[in-house]
């Protein structure tokens, strides 16, 4: 379902219509679809990939606070980056933290590296996770995010 939403094969409205039309008619699988649709960790937001959605589910399943999905970083009123997930700087967080989910085959462009460097200079800290790692080590991924959040919060308390 997440891949189909990301690829715009199906929309929220279409899924809701299918559930309304087929629900209660004894159709196999409708209950599974309804449960998956209602339990989405991203709510009404659509991930860029199934793995991006899976990262949100992993964090929720391990009790990690929900990050901002598709956070836009502004500089002088202009969007300089859209991050997969972010925990922006706040009164309780000393620095901003970003997370990205990357496919093992994905190659980052030089422009992506320049943009990440600029954000790091501005105080952002980055965690990157491959799809394979999210699948094989969900507890480790969630633990790293939790430790980074604790580190950015502890700096304010100190």
The pLDDT tens digits of the residues spanning 11-70 come to: 878 878 887 887 776 777 778 777 777 767 777 777 778 888 889 999 999 999 999 999
* Contact (CB, 8 A) for 144 and 127: yes
Measure CA 42 to chain center. Answer: 8
pLDDT in tens, 66-102: 999 999 998 888 888 889 999 998 877 778 999 988 7
Break the chain into its structural domains and give their ranges. 2-38, 50-157
Burial class for 109, CB neighbours closer than 10 Å (0-12, 13-18, 19+): exposed
Q: Tokens standing for 136?
A: 């094989």
CATH of 50-157, one of 1.20.58, 3.40.960, 1.10.3470, 3.40.50: 3.40.960
């Amino acid at each position: 379902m997440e891949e189909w939403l990301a690829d715009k094969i199906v929309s929220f409205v279409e899924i809701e219509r299918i559930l309304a039309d087929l629900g209660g008619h004894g159709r196999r699988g409708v209950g599974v679809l309804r449960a998956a649709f209602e339990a989405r960790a991203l709510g009404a937001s659509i991930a860029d990939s199934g793995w991006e959605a899976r990262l949100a589910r992993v964090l929720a399943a391990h009790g990690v606070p929900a990050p901002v999905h598709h956070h836009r970083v502004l500089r002088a009123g202009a969007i300089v980056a859209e991050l997969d997930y972010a925990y922006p700087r706040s009164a309780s967080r000393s620095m901003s933290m970003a997370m990205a989910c990357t496919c093992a085959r994905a190659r980052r462009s030089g422009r992506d590296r320049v943009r990440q460097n600029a954000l790091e200079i501005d105080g952002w800290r980055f965690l990157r996770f491959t799809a394979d790692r999210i699948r094989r080590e969900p507890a480790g991924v969630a633990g790293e995010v939790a430790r980074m959040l604790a580190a950015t919060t502890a700096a304010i308390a100190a």
